[in-house]
Structure 1
Amino acid sequence: MNTAETAHWINRLLPGTPEFHQVGAFKVAGYTLEDESIACSVNFGRVNTGLVTEGGAETVDVRSEILSLARADVSVPGRAVGAAATMLLDASLSFKSATDSSVTPMHAQPGQILPCVGIMANLPQEGFSVVHGILADPRIWGPEIPYVREEAGQVNVEAPDEAGDLARLTLPLQLILLTEEEFAIALNEGSDVMFERMAEQEVDLLDLKR
């Protein structure tokens, strides 16, 4: 999908009327819902982070649009989405150009930790306690995650992306912002343990000053 098509798709999934902002290299749609806000990229799908899924004999290219929710002005999750997208783009470019085999890819997929993404978005400077981030399956639509599938040879792309021979899936991916304590648990004990503890403690993920 190109940017216009993605924006149309995202707007069908999220409530309200979006305002579009350029955050670095990325366009972000922002939705204000009373005291909550949602921000979602509409052109991060052009970034290839090297993620594919294989089903039978078919290999499918997997792309994402990043969304974030917060109980804050919409510019706050908007900057966080832009920072996460930029971090993943930079990691993708570094991996492609690396000659050192120790360089590992950073995929846009659930469980991917994004160190210091909150700092990149200037959140601590504004009094927010979230510093890092992790990507997760969004649950705002329930157990089913919406997606768009484009068949091989029919992928609609924009520069600097390059058309390929693979079919493509595009899905929303949620950025959850983390405090230092939550980040340490994810690093040392795994993201599953971190999410279990957050659920047990009824952590409000939309409260960025928790």
Structure 2
Amino acid sequence: MNLAETEYWIDSLLPGEMTVWELQAALPGTGRHAGPAHGEPFTVGVAEGVCATLDLSRFDSGLRTPDGAEVRVELVTAAAADLPAADFLATAATIVSESAGTIPPTPGTLLPEAMTWTLADLADGGQEVPAGLTVAHGMLIEPRVWSRGTPTVTEAPGRVHVHDADPGPHPEAGPAPAGRITTIAQLIAISEGELALARAEGPAALLAALAAAGADPGDWRRAPVAPAPGR
């Protein structure tokens, strides 16, 4: 889908009236004395505490179905209105896009420091950083925003529309696919201890612990369900 089609699709999925923002996140630089490096700008739809990317799908993550169709992904997250959910989403999208396919936007993917980098970027820009947060990282899961499952759009071979800035498939991804599926993964914020639990026992174990505790992943000030390492 192109940007206009993706915006129409996401608008139909989010609650209430959607506003559209353009955000550019900065990731830590590499090398001695390197400053933060800004990634590509992202278009984000925001509606009643739910935010979704509208153009992460312009990047080819290398994902394919068994029959060779491309799988493109947008991200969604939900948090209280006083929290910088859209900025967190833009950071996660930048991490994924800058990885050139090495960090897939699929459920179970861990995004260490995603929240830490988001808050540092806000502070560097002179914006207010919320206090009392207990989370520092991100993780992608199957969407829990919609009761009917994960939304998807399928474009048949020869009918694939692309974003103006779509760089096309990575050379190592193989020949052009037969079609394209666009789907959604949900971004949640997790603590130091929760990241350690997901690494040690798997993301499914962390999700089970969150569910058992009745924890709301959209509450960034919640009590972590696993202690931080060394405590």
Q: What per-residue deviation string (whole Å, max 9, x for no partner) do you get for residues 82-131 of structure 1?
A: 00000001111xx6xxxxxxxxx211111011111101211794222211
Contact 1:106 1:112 in 2 (8 A): yes
Q: What residue identity is the alignment partner of 1:16?
A: G
Query: Which residue does 2:208 correspond to in 1?
Result: 196
Q: Distance in 1 between matches of 2:178 and 2:109?
A: 24
Query: Which residue does 1:81 correspond to in 2?
Result: 89
Q: Would you identify which runs of 4 or more consecutive aligned residues in structure 1 move more than 6 Å?
A: none
Query: Which residue does 2:137 correspond to in 1?
Result: 132
Query: Which residue does 1:69 correspond to in 2?
Result: 78
Contact 2:68 2:177 in 1 (8 A): no
Q: Distance in 1 between matches of 2:78 and 2:180?
A: 26
Aligned-residue offset at 1:28: 0.3
Structure 2 residue 154 is the aligned partner of structure 1 residue 149: yes
Contact 2:70 2:177 in 1 (8 A): no
Query: Which residue does 1:98 correspond to in 2?
Result: none
RMSD: 1.7
SS at match of 2:154: strand
Contact 1:67 1:175 in 2 (8 A): yes
Say which of 188, 195, 206 aligns to 1:183: 195
TM-score, normalized by length of structure 2?
Answer: 0.78
Q: Distance in 2 between matches of 1:193 and 1:109?
A: 17
Q: What per-residue deviation string (whole Å, max 9, x for no partner) do you get for residues 156-179 of structure 1?
A: 112233274431110111001101
Contact 1:69 1:206 in 2 (8 A): yes
Q: What residue identity is the alignment partner of 2:21?
A: H
Higher strand share: 1
Contact 1:153 1:165 in 2 (8 A): no
Q: Give the count of matched residue pairs.
A: 191
Aligned-residue offset at 1:77: 1.0
Q: Distance in 1 between matches of 2:79 and 2:91?
A: 15
Q: Distance in 2 between matches of 1:48 and 1:181?
A: 32
SS at match of 1:149: strand
Contact 1:186 1:194 in 2 (8 A): yes
Q: What residue identity is the alignment partner of 1:10?
A: I
Query: Which residue does 2:166 correspond to in 1?
Result: 160
Query: Which residue does 1:29 correspond to in 2?
Result: 45
Structure 2 residue 24 is the aligned partner of structure 1 residue 20: no
Q: What residue identity is the alignment partner of 1:12?
A: S
Contact 2:69 2:181 in 1 (8 A): yes
- Sequence identity, in percent? 31
Q: Distance in 1 between matches of 2:202 and 2:166?
A: 35
Query: Which residue does 2:103 correspond to in 1?
Result: 106
Aligned-residue offset at 1:76: 1.0
Aligned-residue offset at 1:18: 1.1
TM-score, normalized by length of structure 1?
Answer: 0.85
Residue segments in structure 1 that go unaligned for 5+ positions in a row: 96-104
Say which of 53, 74, 93 aligns to 1:41: 53
